[in-house]
Chain A
Amino acid sequence: MNSVIIENISKSYGDVLAVDDVSLTIEKGEIFGFIGPDGAGKTSLFRMLTTLLIPDKGNATVEGFDIVKDYKKIRSAVGYMPGRFSLYQDLTVEENLHFFAAVFGTTIQENYNLIKDIYVMLEPFKNRKAGKLSGGMKQKLALCCALIHKPKILFLDEPTTGVDPVSRNEFWDMLGNLRKEGITIVVSTPYMDEANKCDRIALMQKGKIMETDYLKNIISRFPRKLFAVKSDGMFVLLNELREYQFANSVFSFGDSLHYSDSRENVTKDNILEYLNTKNHGNISIEEIEPNIEDCFMDLMSK
Chain B
Amino acid sequence: MTSAAITKNLTKRYGRKTALADCSLDIPAGHVVGLVGPNGAGKSTLLQLICGQLAPTAGSLTVLDGPPVTGSPRIGFVAQDTPVYGNLSIEDHLRLGRHLNPSWDDDLARERIERLDLDPKQKAGKLSGGQRAQLALTLAIAKRPELLLLDEPVAALDPLARREFLQGLMEYVAETGTSVVMSSHLVADLERVCDYLIVLVKSKVRVTGEVEELLASHHRVTGARVDPEKLGPGRTVVQARHTDVQSSLVVRSTAPIEDPAFTVDGIDLEDLVLAYMSEAGNGRDRILEKQR
Q: Do A and B bind each other?
A: no
* Residue ranges of B at the interface with A (Cβ–Cβ < 8 Å): none
